Amino acid sequence: MFYREAGQFKTNYVSDQAIFPILQDRIGVVVILLAAYVVVPWINDDFLTNAVMIPFLIFALAAIGLNLVTGYAGLLSLGTGAFMGVGAYACYKLTTYFPDVNILIWVIASGFVSAAVGAIFGLPAVRIKGFYLAIATLAAQFFLEWCFIRIPWLYNNNISGAIEVPQRELFGIIITGPRATAETRYFIVLTIVVLMTVVASNLVHGRIGRMWMAVRDMDIAAELMGIRLLRAKLLAFAVSSFYCGVAGALMVFLWYGGAEATVFSINQSFLILFMVIIGGLGSILGSYLGAALIFILPIVLRIVPPELGLPIRAATVEHITFMVVGILIIFFLIVEPAGLARLWQVAKQKLRVWPFPY
């Protein structure tokens, strides 16, 4: 049909190594970007931007981060929530000490703090792997969560124990704090997420990504081929934590506007792990699809029964939501263990050879 690569010849290395080698893919990406940058603000619905798009993008960023370490490097990490927290608290401390520096610089800088912490907690990966490692990363989760509660310095000795986002400006426009409009925050989140996605995509298509995948597929073989395991694994943890840290900082500064340590609890880690697994391990696109599904599913489940006029109490809806999410997770795993990204691959292949079956 319209999705064909016939006639598109790759005549040099640059076009051969492009992230989107097929013209139709490039058009698709441009359409999606246009939709994100033009159509969503044009609809100008506060619920859509504030409660759907901003969280979706932030979760997608965190999912990409986890996917880098779990999907590409094969190291199962359950400390995502805590690494997001490190980013958020680091950003908060940095902007308290240096209020005049542009907040976006601190958002990125807090990613580096998170990366350092992630690399430290990634150290056990050198000796252990698999589920043993997963539980070891839980140590990071619980220890860091404890720090967020017990070290008052981290939240400037607030009595409430929460961090509150101060008002910051960029080119005279208020971008954080309670007075920032949803639209401004949306544009900033979108831009950061798009840029970081491009970086991640280049990373996994390049030497580093191949190194990670070799480690994932069989680490001893990778070591024999000259990959330094220590470096590869720590780098994976650091880069992953960098992404999670930025996502955490964005989450607090551009979505919640304030947060307590409970936001970065183990449930957050599990939620993002769901996104990665349902979306597809080792796929950037999958991170987006998984984030969309897992984040939007409960919203839909909450909205649909009252719309249908079913008289269900709020608590019951909550319980049923839990059950349905659980069933759907198992269902998706049974139907497509490789994740939603795999569905897109299958669809692409079908389109390519259409109208023939193969």
Partner 1 sequence: MALLYGIFIDPFVQMAQAPDLLVQTLWEGLVGGVLYALIALGFVLIFKASGVFNFAQGIMVVFAALTFVGLHGKGVPAFLALALTIVVMFVLAYGVERVMLRPLVNQPDIILFMATFGLTYFLIGFGELVFGGDPKVMPAEDLYLPKGPITIKALGGMIGIQKLDIAAAVIASIMVAGLAVFFSRTRIGRALRAVADSHEAALSVGISLEQIWVIVWFAAGLVALVTGIFWGARSDVSFALEVIALKALPVLILGGFTSVPGAIVGGLIIGVGEKIGEFYWGPLIGGGTDSWFAYVIALIFLLFRPQGLFGEKIIERV
- Sole window of 128-136, 165-173, 192-200, 346-354 interacting with partner 1 (rule: CB under 8 A): 128-136
Residue 319 CB, nearest distance to partner 1 (Å)?
4
Residue whose C-alpha is closest to residue 254's, from 170, 171, 196, 198: 170
CB of 117 to partner 1, least distance (A): 14
Residue 128 touches partner 1, criterion: CB under 8 A = yes
* CB-CB contact of 88 with 252 (8 Å): yes
Which stretch, 200-208, 234-242, 244-252, 270-278, contacts partner 1 (CB under 8 A)?
270-278
DSSP letter at 254 equals I
221 binds partner 1 (CB under 8 A): yes
Instruction: Determine whether 147 is exposed, middle or buried from the number of CB atoms within 10 Å of its CB (0-12, 13-18, 19+).
Output: middle
Identified binder of partner 1 from the candidate list 329, 342, 345, 352, rule CB under 8 A: 329
Q: Whose Cβ is closer to partner 1: residue 169's or residue 318's?
A: 318
Residue 299, interface with partner 1 (CB under 8 A)?
A: no
Q: Per rule CB under 8 A, is residue 266 in the interface with partner 1?
A: yes
Q: Does 270 bind partner 1 (CB under 8 A)?
A: yes
* Residue 123 neighbours by CB under 8 Å, 6+ apart: 234
**262 near partner 1, judged by CB under 8 A:** no
Minimum CB distance to partner 1, residue 281 (Å): 7
- Of 296, 300, 330, 347, the one binding partner 1 (CB under 8 A) is 330
Strand 168-170 to 163-164 pairing: unpaired
Q: Retrieve residue 294's tokens.
A: 């897992």
Least distance to partner 1, CB of residue 175, Å: 35
The structure tokens 């101060």 sit at 166
Q: Is 158 a residue that touches partner 1 (CB under 8 A)?
A: no
Say whether 311 sits in a helix, a strand or coil.
coil
Which residues 56-75 are close enough to bind partner 1 by CB under 8 A? Answer: 70
Q: Which of residues 54, 66, 76, 91 is near partner 1 by CB under 8 A? A: 76
Query: Toward partner 1, which CB reaches closer, 101 or 330?
Result: 330
26 binds partner 1 (CB under 8 A): no
Instruction: Select from 182, 236, 250, 277 the one that contacts partner 1 (CB under 8 A).
Output: 277
Which residue, 10 or 319, is less far from partner 1 as judged by CB? Answer: 319
Which residue blocks in the chain are alpha helix, DSSP H? 13-16, 23-34, 40-43, 46, 54-66, 80-97, 103-121, 131-150, 182-205, 207-217, 219-224, 229-250, 266-279, 284-307, 314-335, 340-353
Name every residue whose Cβ is closer than 8 Å to that of residue 63 and which is 6 or more positions away in sequence: 272, 275, 276, 279, 287, 288, 290, 291
Kindly state whether residue 142 participates in binding partner 1, applying the rule CB under 8 A.
yes
Q: Which candidate, 267, 269, 266, 286, places its Cα nearest to that of 277?
A: 286
Q: What is the CA radius of gyration of the chain?
A: 21
d(CA 248, CA 87) in angstroms, rounded, equals 5
Q: What would the x/- binding string for partner 1 be over residues 97 to 116, using CB under 8 A?
A: --------------------
Binding site for partner 1 (CB under 8 A): 70, 76, 124, 127-128, 130-132, 135-136, 138-139, 142-143, 145-146, 149-151, 218, 220-221, 224, 266, 270, 273-274, 277, 281, 315-316, 318-330, 333-334, 337
